[in-house]
């Protein structure tokens, strides 16, 4: 694409094809303003597409097989590990990595940090897609996925934490769709829709904070159903939900840092000056937030150990593994990020962001799979088809992510000249406010 741009091909970034009057058609918008031949050629040129093709060629038939032959065909059908990779990765890991949406939404819309604006839409999209694909993983994992709406419509178990997760993820998905729809309405050319969503932005943002607090925590609280099964070092009856909630925040921010640097490298043609100029600076701003999150997380993890007096476990083999997780996944990135921020080293910020994500993944895997059933003396070893499905859905996630970034005004600003601007209305409203 960079080559094409160098050849001065016009890429869709406004409603109009040329400074004149002709508008882009939807098909042209979908093809980014290229001719079909150009589009196919650039797609075939990209080696990453070939990698995706190989993954899909193996993975999609296996996904089909899961629905035709049952879960036992793709997993080891363990009674002791009812939750495998699909939930261990798809739900317990992807959801915290997607906490970026509510955090950036809060910073920009609620606290008025407009300097973060160039990266806000990327964070919102990262949130939406993470949640959407967490649901996809869930659909593969559920025994009877066609009954997914049951907890909403047919049978209610309101005292169950999963009931809350189901409701909140569903509600929050709608909130995120509304938040991201602003970009879609710009792209499709429907300013009315954009205005309508803009009016409820504050409500959506506050709803996002409430729902995120509760369901990020709820994913942790799910493990309080299994007090004897999760290893004591990864379990805390009182703080499990806080551990999950707090660790999701630096991880979500670091996800935006990492995705931001990936798109800066691979999608430079799509990013506008505003994004390219600001992404490094904003990464460091986000890293500051992540730094605080990591420090808080480290503190409450230690409080968790101290509160239940679990120090003696640290001397065991599991204890070493715990120290590795905390050392490499929390303390090391904390030190590196602090150093990098102080010395303005953007490369190191990116590396430590990656390390933070690794720390979160390791924590969720440890809680849900690796130390789960530690008393049984068994190991969770996934079936190869289970691994393949997990990889395939993640590849679809990346593909959809890229598809949207290519098109919607996430990394660039939609050039609008014709949008009606309402300046008078709020003044009227405020007049009533003052008098009433």
Partner 1 sequence: MKRRDFLKAWMICGASTTFGITRNAWGGASFEGYPERMGVLVDLTRCVGCRSCEAACNKEQQLPAPSAPFDDLSVFDRKRRPTEKAYTVINRYETTKAGGPVYRKIQCNHCNEPGCLSSCLVNAYTKTQEGAVIYNPKVCIGCRACMVACPFNIPGYSYSSAFNPLVKKCVFCYDTRLKNGKSPACVEICPQETLTFGHLNDLIKIGHERIREMPDKYIDHIYGEKEVGGTGWIYLSGVPFDKVGFDTTLGNEPIISNVKEFLGLIPMVLAIWPALFTGFHLLSTRNNNDPSKQGDSHSYREDAKP
Site for partner 1 in 173-232 (CB under 8 A): 195, 198-203, 205-206, 209-210, 213-214, 217-218, 221-222, 224-229
The interface with partner 1 within residues 239-278 (CB under 8 A) comprises 240-241
- Answer yes or no: are the C-beta atoms of 289 and 104 closer than 8 Å: no
Per DSSP, helices labelled H in 200-307 are: 201-221, 240-266, 273-307
From CA 240, how far away is CA 367, in angstroms rounded? 10
| Residue 150 found at the interface with partner 1 (CB under 8 A) | yes
Asked if 23 touches partner 1 (CB under 8 A), the answer is no
* Least distance in angstroms from the C-beta of 75 to partner 1: 7
Of 304, 173, 311, 321, nearest to 241 by C-alpha is 304
Q: Is 75 in the site for partner 1 (CB under 8 A)?
A: yes
For partner 1, give the closer residue by CB, 171 or 338: 171
Closer to partner 1 by CB, 1 or 222: give it. 222
Q: 248: which 2 tokens? A: 């999701």
Q: E strands along 295-368, which residues?
A: none
According to DSSP, residue 70 is labeled -
One residue of 164, 258, 337, 410 binding partner 1 per CB under 8 A:
164
Question: Does 347 help bind partner 1 (rule: CB under 8 A)?
Answer: no
The candidate with the shortest Cα–Cα distance to 322, out of 362, 284, 278, 374, is 362
Site residue total, partner 1 (CB under 8 A): 78
Cα distance between residue 353 and residue 367, in whole Å: 21
Q: Under a CB-based contact definition with an 8 Å cutoff, are residues 245 and 340 in contact?
A: no
Report yes or no: 293 and 352 within 8 Å, Cβ to Cβ: no
Binding mask 360-399 for partner 1 (x = CB under 8 A): ---------------x------------------------
Report the distance separating Cα 271 and Cα 261, nearest Å: 11
When the beta carbons of 6 and 434 are compared against partner 1, the nearer one is: 434
Task: Pick the closer one to partner 1 by CB: 47 or 377.
Answer: 377
Tell me the per-residue interface mask from 394 to 433 with partner 1, x by CB under 8 A, - otherwise. Answer: ---------------------------xxx-xxx-xx--x
With respect to partner 1, which residue has the nearer C-beta, 51 or 431? 431
Q: Residue from 61, 82, 327, 347 that binds partner 1 (CB under 8 A)?
A: 82
Closest CA to 255 of 130, 368, 364, 346: 130
Query: Are 94 and 130 spatial neighbours (Cβ–Cβ below 8 Å)?
Result: yes
CB-wise, 205 or 283, nearer to partner 1? 205
């Amino acid at each position: 694409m960079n080559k094409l741009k160098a050849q001065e091909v016009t890429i869709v970034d406004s409603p109009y094809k040329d400074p004149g009057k002709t508008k882009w058609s939807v098909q042209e918008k979908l093809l980014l303003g290229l001719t079909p031949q150009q589009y196919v050629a650039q797609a075939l040129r990209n080696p990453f597409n070939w990698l995706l093709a190989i993954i899909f060629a193996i993975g999609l038939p296996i996904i089909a097989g899961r629905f035709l032959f049952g879960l036992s065909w793709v997993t080891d059908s363990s009674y002791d590990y009812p939750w495998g990779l699909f939930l261990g990765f798809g739900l317990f890991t992807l959801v915290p990595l997607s906490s970026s949406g509510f955090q950036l939404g809060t910073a920009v819309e609620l606290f008025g940090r407009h300097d973060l604006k160039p990266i806000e839409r990327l964070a919102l999209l990262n949130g939406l897609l993470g949640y959407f694909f967490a649901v996809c993983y869930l659909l593969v994992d559920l025994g009877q996925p066609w009954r997914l709406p049951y907890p909403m419509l047919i049978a209610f178990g309101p005292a169950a934490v999963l009931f809350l997760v189901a409701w909140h993820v569903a509600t929050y998905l709608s909130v995120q769709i509304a938040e991201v729809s602003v970009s879609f309405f710009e792209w499709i050319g429907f300013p009315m829709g954009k205005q309508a969503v803009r009016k409820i932005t504050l409500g959506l943002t506050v709803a996002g904070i409430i729902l995120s607090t509760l369901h990020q925590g709820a994913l942790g609280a799910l493990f309080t159903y299994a007090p004897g099964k999760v290893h004591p070092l990864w379990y805390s009856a009182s703080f499990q939900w806080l551990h999950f909630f707090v660790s999701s925040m630096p991880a979500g921010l670091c996800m935006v840092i990492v995705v931001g640097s990936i798109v800066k490298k691979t999608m430079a043609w799509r990013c506008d000056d505003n994004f390219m100029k600001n992404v490094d600076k904003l990464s460091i701003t986000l890293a500051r937030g992540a730094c605080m999150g990591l420090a808080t997380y480290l503190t409450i993890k230690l409080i968790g150990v101290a509160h239940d007096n679990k120090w003696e476990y640290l001397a065991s083999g599991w204890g070493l593994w715990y120290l590795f997780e905390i050392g490499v996944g929390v303390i090391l990135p904390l030190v590196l990020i602090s150093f990098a921020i102080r010395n303005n080293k953007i490369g190191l910020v990116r590396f430590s962001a990656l390390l933070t994500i690794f720390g979160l993944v390791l924590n969720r895997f440890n809680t849900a799979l690796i130390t789960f059933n530690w008393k049984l003396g068994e190991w969770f070893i996934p079936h190869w088809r289970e691994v393949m499905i997990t990889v395939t859905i993640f590849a679809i996630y990346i593909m959809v992510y890229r598809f949207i970034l290519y098109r919607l005004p996430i990394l660039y600003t939609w050039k609008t000249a014709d949008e009606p601007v309402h300046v008078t209305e709020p003044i009227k409203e405020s007049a009533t406010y003052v008098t009433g």
